[in-house]
Structure 1
């Protein structure tokens, strides 16, 4: 009964109804227009902000830590297993549509991260917390909608997403090293538990150390493979673009599958519009101290995740000539591709890479859902321990569940979160525009564009003691 309900909802969201594809495209075009193509006009500026993003005050994590926390959640199975799945179901043209949703999603990610930072609060530990539930309640005054989002978040990031990441890790380790999935699940849960019980600051420090090196190693591997096969690259990229519009013999009749698979897996990877990354954005004490700074920083996260890292996986898979099977395929496709390039060492590399990629996501997923405990006044010892127990149990279950079950539950959770969040951020567009204009005006006259309550026209109210 539950599985049938999940399948029915996914059919509406992702299947024949394709509601989410239209919602995400609308949101991307909406914020690109309303913010005057900020992902292109502010492209250079987001890198300059990232250079000076390492400092923070005691109440929050640094902007760089927030970026790494956001990337640790984004960079996971979506980059390795998800890209391979998109190519398997939609052909090489799916990669093009992943790029499209990422470029549009940069504007959406900017908008939701600005709101996450603006409406943040201080929890019982005097640390910053926030996210869609907070800006829906404080900005729109719709408590019922905020509660609905939080419940979807707990189902997604508190349960099914971590289960899915554990499933991919366990599959990769079992395929390569014949490690039993139940044993992988127990070890993953144990190590994750040690990290997450230290709270957001320990999670952020973990992400800050691991994510940059993890991403750099994978990018270097893709560059090396591309250099070896340099003569094939022009034809490869031509095939991606032509197949995206059904203009090659192999892609004829598969246009719908390419668009659907590319957008679905691209959105799952970069999470723009889903309402997840605003939790990381809210935890930051940015430099300069303005909500728009986190918009730029997290916009960079969307770019790195999909345009850079997902493209690396696509190049690795397509140059190996594997993946276009039309079947439900996960990490095994990426492992096969690396084995083509590097023999058995390539298989080992991907097994270790996906373990690290997915594990960072498991840890960050915990932080996102845990941020909403304060919303329900459960940010106490009993509340945290209860949530942690459920979260770790789902990690163990996910390591032993079927790939189809886990992905379906994750797709439904992400879809419902996205519908609620996009609805909210579109209604809060006047606040986003006002804050962005305030930042640009202050930046234009020189000095640090600091924000204080009353500097811009906003909907609702910010928490006392945050922007005073």
Structure 2
């Protein structure tokens, strides 16, 4: 019997692929990551004695005093701005819209819960990035999960696993999500502008910046990220002022929705499970607390004490979710002519997320805001792409890549930015969720194991404040730490690149006396 001729395998239909990825995505976030994220956040909140509450004032003061002082390196404020640029992106526009469409108004409250708990997680992971950072070239440092896995747990191999996962998830899939949504918004506004045209324009803007390296990205995001966040929040304040009488009803719907009390009103989107699932998922995707992404920026900063950068990055979670995500949620919930709860599936909700937010602003403020919103969304996406490059470059360096490898990756990220504009949106969203979920699982396990080092640094910081000193960190012979830190960054014997007088010693000379910061 003659065997049948071999034929090429049939390609899996895009719809089927999206459905399968969606099932994996739902399982990961429903049964694994959401529970672990909240559990770790509560654990670290207790262990730090609610650092996000008792040091909130210190966060604000540290941020306002963190500009400059790096002398050729990357300042604390620049590292914060890079993290903020990556956090405040399409997740704040499209992601929040998706959460509200699929989970009802109550999803917004669960986003708040995740953010407030996650501030402790963000503090620990960013402090660890500073504690275990290494010297880079060109007056900069390198730090992040790959580095604290290697230097804290002694596992170079698992550090490499994280680095590869981060490069793929952040440097490719997240970039594609951002540019995919941007192309959708522009095409919906001007149908004659094809998605590939948006991709070409992004190549022209992104390529020159990322090929300039980490310092180039830091210089751009230093002013772009804070300005765009302020403009967006200010616009929301205007909308709230115009709709002040309707605000109590919206806040009530958020509370009832979070408890599942309005399921009959909002249909599937009103269930408490849907509210929790969508609020946690989109909150995590937006503020990134616990995912291990922001520490890659935190570890590059030149600072006198690791806790300072931990506090600054923790405050970034507050800005991202409590301010910017809330702004989007309220814009949509107040737009009664635009928001239609309970009428969307997962796929078509993802397809209209950013467009819905744009339409809500038009409903509130008029048609003249259409193009300003397009510009705002474009800036959000562009800055996030730059932040993604920064995160990924740190991991490229960890894997041994230097200037040439950085440039190759810059070209790869630029290609991903183009590809995202022309690929199917549900598949891209699912891939980004899954990739970030795997990244988060690894990082959460690691930071729990290494938490004693960050907690020791926090005790050291608090002790110096109580003694009336300006906190300066010493990594050897420090009674608050579990042991001596490896390397020469914090040992007080070798000058670190850049920084103030204290920071030139890696932040390790005898603590300078001076007016203490008040809690």
Query: Judging changes above 3 Å, is the alpha-carbon distance between structure 1 residues 318 and 145 closer, same or farther for their aligned structure 2 residues?
Result: same
User: Which has the higher mean CA deviation after the structures are superposed, 458-467 or 276-285?
Assistant: 458-467
Structure 2 distance, partners of 1:366, 1:143, is 22
1:72–1:211 Cα contact (<8 Å) kept: yes
2:183–2:198 Cα contact (<8 Å) kept: yes
In structure 1, what is the equivalent of residue 33 of structure 2? Answer: 20
Does 1:349 find its partner at 2:372? Answer: yes
1:6–1:408 Cα contact (<8 Å) kept: yes
Please give the per-residue CA displacement for 1:269-289, whole angstroms capped at 9, x wherever unaligned. 000000011011111112xx0
In structure 1, what is the equivalent of residue 435 of structure 2? Answer: 413
Does 1:250 find its partner at 2:273? Answer: no
In structure 1, what is the equivalent of residue 161 of structure 2? Answer: 148
Structure 1 distance, partners of 2:482, 2:23, is 39
Deviation at residue 162 of structure 1 after TM alignment: 0.6
Query: Judging changes above 3 Å, is the alpha-carbon distance between structure 1 residues 4 and 335 closer, same or farther for their aligned structure 2 residues?
Result: closer
Q: For residues 182-221 of structure 1, what are the structure 2 equivalents within 5 Å?
A: 182-221=196-235
Q: For residues 238-387 of structure 1, what are the structure 2 equivalents within 5 Å?
A: 238-248=252-262, 249-251=264-266, 254-286=271-303, 289-321=304-336, 322-324=339-341, 325-327=343-345, 328=349, 329-381=352-404, 383-387=405-409
Please give the per-residue CA displacement for 1:174-205, whole angstroms capped at 9, x wherever unaligned. 11133211011111122111111121111111
Query: Judging changes above 3 Å, is the alpha-carbon distance between structure 1 residues 135 and 333 closer, same or farther for their aligned structure 2 residues?
Result: same
Structure 1 distance, partners of 2:379, 2:34, is 30
Task: Tell me the C-alpha RMSD between the 2 structures.
Answer: 1.7
Please give the per-residue CA displacement for 1:73-100, whole angstroms capped at 9, x wherever unaligned. 0000111100000001001000000000
In structure 2, what is the equivalent of residue 450 of structure 1? Answer: 472
Please give the per-residue CA displacement for 1:256-307, whole angstroms capped at 9, x wherever unaligned. 0100000000010000000011011111112xx0000011100110000000
Query: Judging changes above 3 Å, is the alpha-carbon distance between structure 1 residues 458 and 4 closer, same or farther for their aligned structure 2 residues?
Result: farther
User: Which has the higher mean CA deviation after the structures are superposed, 325-334 or 396-405?
Assistant: 325-334
The TM-score normalised by the length of structure 2 is 0.86
Please give the per-residue CA displacement for 1:300-332, whole angstroms capped at 9, x wherever unaligned. 100000000000111110000215233323211
Structure 2 distance, partners of 1:88, 1:201, is 39
1:158–1:391 Cα contact (<8 Å) kept: yes
Does 1:90 find its partner at 2:103? Answer: yes
Question: Relative contact order (alpha carbons < 8 A, sep ≥ 6): 1 or 2 greater?
Answer: 1
Structure 2 distance, partners of 1:323, 1:70, is 33
Does 1:67 find its partner at 2:76? Answer: no
Please give the per-residue CA displacement for 1:424-451, whole angstroms capped at 9, x wherever unaligned. 0000111111110001001111121000
In structure 2, what is the equivalent of residue 226 of structure 1? Answer: 240
1:75–1:361 Cα contact (<8 Å) kept: yes
Deviation at residue 59 of structure 1 after TM alignment: 5.4
Query: Judging changes above 3 Å, is the alpha-carbon distance between structure 1 residues 110 and 119 closer, same or farther for their aligned structure 2 residues?
Result: same
1:120–1:462 Cα contact (<8 Å) kept: no
Structure 1 distance, partners of 2:340, 2:88, is 20
Structure 1 distance, partners of 2:154, 2:414, is 33
SS at match of 1:61: coil
2:91–2:282 Cα contact (<8 Å) kept: yes
Structure 1 distance, partners of 2:68, 2:376, is 29
In structure 2, what is the equivalent of residue 396 of structure 1? Answer: 418
Query: Judging changes above 3 Å, is the alpha-carbon distance between structure 1 residues 461 and 7 closer, same or farther for their aligned structure 2 residues?
Result: farther
Structure 1 distance, partners of 2:20, 2:410, is 27
Does 1:37 find its partner at 2:59? Answer: no
2:167–2:396 Cα contact (<8 Å) kept: no
Query: Judging changes above 3 Å, is the alpha-carbon distance between structure 1 residues 184 and 143 closer, same or farther for their aligned structure 2 residues?
Result: same
Structure 1, unmatched stretches of 5+, are none
In structure 1, what is the equivalent of residue 487 of structure 2? Answer: 463
- Aligned positions, number: 463
Deviation at residue 358 of structure 1 after TM alignment: 1.1
Deviation at residue 3 of structure 1 after TM alignment: 6.0
Structure 2, unmatched stretches of 5+, are 1-11, 493-519
Deviation at residue 103 of structure 1 after TM alignment: 0.2
User: Which has the higher mean CA deviation after the structures are superposed, 433-442 or 42-51?
Assistant: 42-51
